[in-house]
Structure 1
Amino acid sequence: MTLQLPSIAEAKAQAASLRQDLARQGTEIGHARALELVAHQHGFRDWNAFHAAIGNRPPADWTPGGRVQGSYLSQPFRATVVAATMLGDGWFRLSLELDEAVDVVSFESFSNFRKRVHCVVGPSGRTRERTSDGQPHVVLDR
């Protein structure tokens, strides 16, 4: 059985969660110690070895050919990832080919359907860009 390694952003989130859990139990640890513990949980001798094994790669389903689902302009979709480019710590530019076109206009007398979407998503699978009602343009289910 092959276990899939988390992305660096996911590993850092695991470390933050571990710190919070331990703090609630009365044990305070630093961020570096939490990173080391997460590395050990995944079978690595230290954070540096774990970091090198992970690399700054997107989650497996965010790579070309991967399948994703979520919402685009608050409308549900399923899509195939056509392209993925790493931009920085956990942020990726994705090109998505939607299984079914999504109407990007909410006005009843006009429609504009989109089948291909380009977006920049962070570690949480959300875009920074938001609609006028505050919703992220794209939300990928994780």
Structure 2
Amino acid sequence: MSYSLDTPSIQTLKAEARSLRDERVKAGGAITHAMALEEVAKTHGYRDWNTAVAMLPERVAVPVQVGDRASGHYLGQPFKGLVIGVQILSDMQHYQVTVKFDNPVDVATSKLFSAFRHRVTATIDVHGVSPAHTSNGVPQMRVRRI
């Protein structure tokens, strides 16, 4: 079975339920967390919360999604940019992410020449850190939402 990045995770639905509960409190109404979970499950098309939990993939929320503004380091250089691609890998714990940098990043360490990158694709884990490292032991990419 394959999962789309559009498929919400259990953590996402729980966060929606917390937000719903907070909104109801601000509006002067009270709702229990269990009631909020049931309501959120129904809005996503599930019969009830237990059905939603049984049907949803067991994976951690994606560290970044398409359209997110992101920042981090690529080959040791700081960047800010736009996430333009995310693909979950077969182990359901790593993602291939493509970032378009706001400003080109010079990935050359030599002062004699430059090698600017405008867009890169890298593999990251659920924490936004690349499992691949540079020769000095630094992860190739660290990325997070901003």
Verify the 8 A CA contact 2:11 2:61 in the aligned structure 1.
no
SS at match of 1:69: strand
CA-atom RMSD, angstroms? Answer: 2.9
**CA distance in 2 between partners of 1:56 and 1:85 (Å):** 14
User: Which of 1 and 2 has greater Rg?
Assistant: 2
1:63 alignment counterpart? 65
Aligned to 1:82: 84
- The SS at the match of 1:129 is coil
1:109 and 2:127 correspond: no
2:102 aligned with 1:99: yes
**TM-score (ref. length: structure 2):** 0.59
TM-fit CA distance, 1:141 = 3.1
Size of the alignment, in residue pairs?
A: 104
Amino acid at match of 1:81: V
Which string of whole-angstrom CA distances, capped at 9 and with x for unpartnered residues, describes residues 36-72 of structure 1? xxxx8x94756x743634665853x622211111111
Matched, 1:129 2:142: no
Aligned identity (percent) is 26
Structure 2 CA distance for aligned equivalents of residues 89 and 80 of structure 1: 23
Q: Secondary structure of 1:6's partner? A: helix
Give 5+ residue unaligned stretches, structure 2: 1-8, 13-33, 39-48
> Structure 1 CA distance, aligned partners of 2:141 and 2:60?
20
Tell me, in whole angstroms, the C-alpha distance in 2 between the residues paired with 1:54 and 1:117. 28
